[in-house]
Structure 1
C-alpha cells in the first residue's frame, strides 16, 4: 500500500501535490476554527512546535476574528521553491474567515496565491517597494514580520511599515532570538548594543510615557504618541498601535 502511494506521488507534479494537501488541510480546518494552535499544526507552520507563538497570537488577535481585516506577513517561506511555503498564510486565512491576507517575499511566490491570499515579490528593506505595496493595499490591521530576521532588516521594516498600521492595529516580530546571533547582526556579549532588535524595542516603552519627559532636555522619541503597549514573549514581540494622548501626571 505504501509503495502504491509513493508511485502515485512520484507521478504528480509539485503543484498537484500541493493542491491535494490544501484540500485535506481545508477539510481538517473546519473542525478547529477557533484554535490557532490546531490550525498551525494542520497547516504545518512552525508558529507552533518549533516556536510557541500561537497562544499569544490568539490572545491578541481573537477580537478581530470575524472582522474584515487585512493582514500583511513578511516572508512566505520555502525559499526559491515555487510551490513551497505559504503555510502560515493559509493558517491566517482559515482563522480570519473574512480577512484578506497579503505577504511579501524576496523570491517569486505568486504560484502560492489563492482566493484571499495575495503575494508581492520584493525586499523587506526596500523602503520604496514597501511604500508602493501599502499604497496599493491600504492600511492594515495586523503586520507579522517573519522575514529575514536580520536585526537591521527588522528595524528598517518596522520604521517603514508602522505608519501604515491602522489605529489599534497589531505589529508582531518573530524569532527575535537573532538579537543574540552574530550572523544576523546580533550581539550576545554587549546586551545593550543599540543595533539589535531587542534593544531597539526595549526603548519603545519610553514612547508610551513621552508626555512625562522634560522636552527641553530630551528629544522626542520615535513613534511618540502612537504606541499603546508592547509585549515581550519568548522570541516574540507584539506592539499595539493606538493614539496615546492621556494627560501627563507630571509633578514638576
Structure 2
C-alpha cells in the first residue's frame, strides 16, 4: 500500500471518492513534489472536502493548496494555506481570475464537472500556468464516451479527441506544415500519458530534438 492509499483508507479526513487505480498514477507523477516548501497545487472539484484533506496530509503543511468548486458551501473548507475559490470551470473569466491571483502552480488536477466543455476550457486557460517540471492531470475522462457529458465514442469535440490531437502537437518539431498552428505546446510539454479515465501532461521546457551517436566506431 502506498503512502497516499494509507492516508485515503486509514487516516481521518472528510469524504473522498476515487477510482482505485488512480493511486498508482498519483504516486507515479506526484511523489516527487513531497517535501517541497514552495509546492503549489490547484484542484478543481472540492465536493465534500476529503481530497483537500488527503492532499494536505500527503504533501505537508507548507504547500499552497487551492480548491475550486461551484458550491459556495465549499468555502467553509478553507483553513490556513488551503484556499477555496467559488466559480464555474467553464467560465473563462473566472479561470483567468485564478491566473491573475495565483500566477503559477506545480500541479493542476481537474476533477470537476467532467463535461467536455469544462475539461477543454480548463486545459486551454490553465495549462500555461503549470511550472516547468509540473503536471496537469485531467480525471474521469471516461465521460468522453458518455452522452450526458456531451461525449460519445470518437465523437468530435470530446476531451479524448482533444487530447489525441495533442499527440500530434507533441511532435510539432517534425511537422513543418502545421507547426505554427500548434502554438507552443511541443516546446513546453515533455510527454502525454494516457490511463483508464486519466490523461497526464508533463510540463517542461523542451529544446529542439538533437540526434546523437555513441559507441565504438561512431
Quote the residue 1:132 is aligned against.
Answer: 97
Q: Is the 8 A contact 2:116 2:157 kept in 1?
A: yes
Q: Please tell me whether the aligned partners of residues 36 and 55 of structure 1 are also in contact (alpha carbons under 8 angstroms).
A: no
**Distance (Å, rounded) in 1 between the aligned partners of 2:54 and 2:157:** 32
Higher radius of gyration, 1 or 2: 1
Q: Give the length in aligned residue pairs.
A: 204
1:149, 1:120 → 2: CA distance?
A: 18
| Structure 1: runs of 5 or more not aligned | 1-31, 78-84
Counterpart of 1:236 in structure 2 is: 198
- Taking structure 1 as the reference length, the TM-score comes to 0.76
Q: Which residue of 2 aligns with 1:70?
A: 40
* Structure 2 match to 1:95: 58
Tell me which residue corresponds to 2:214. none
**Which of the numbers 83, 91, 111 marks the counterpart of 2:76?**
111
Q: CA RMSD in A?
A: 1.8
Alpha-carbon distance, 1:132 to partner: 1.3
Higher relative contact order (CA 8 A, sep 6+): 2
User: Runs of 4+ in structure 1 displaced over 6 angstroms?
Assistant: none
Q: Is the 8 A contact 2:173 2:179 kept in 1?
A: no
TM-score, normalised with respect to structure 2: 0.87
Aligned runs of 1:44-59 on 2, under 5 Å? 44-47=15-18, 50-59=19-28
Is the contact made by 2:8 and 2:54 (CA closer than 8 Å) also made in structure 1?
A: yes
- Deviations along 1:105-139, one digit per CA (max 9) or x if unpaired, are 11111111112210001110111111112221220
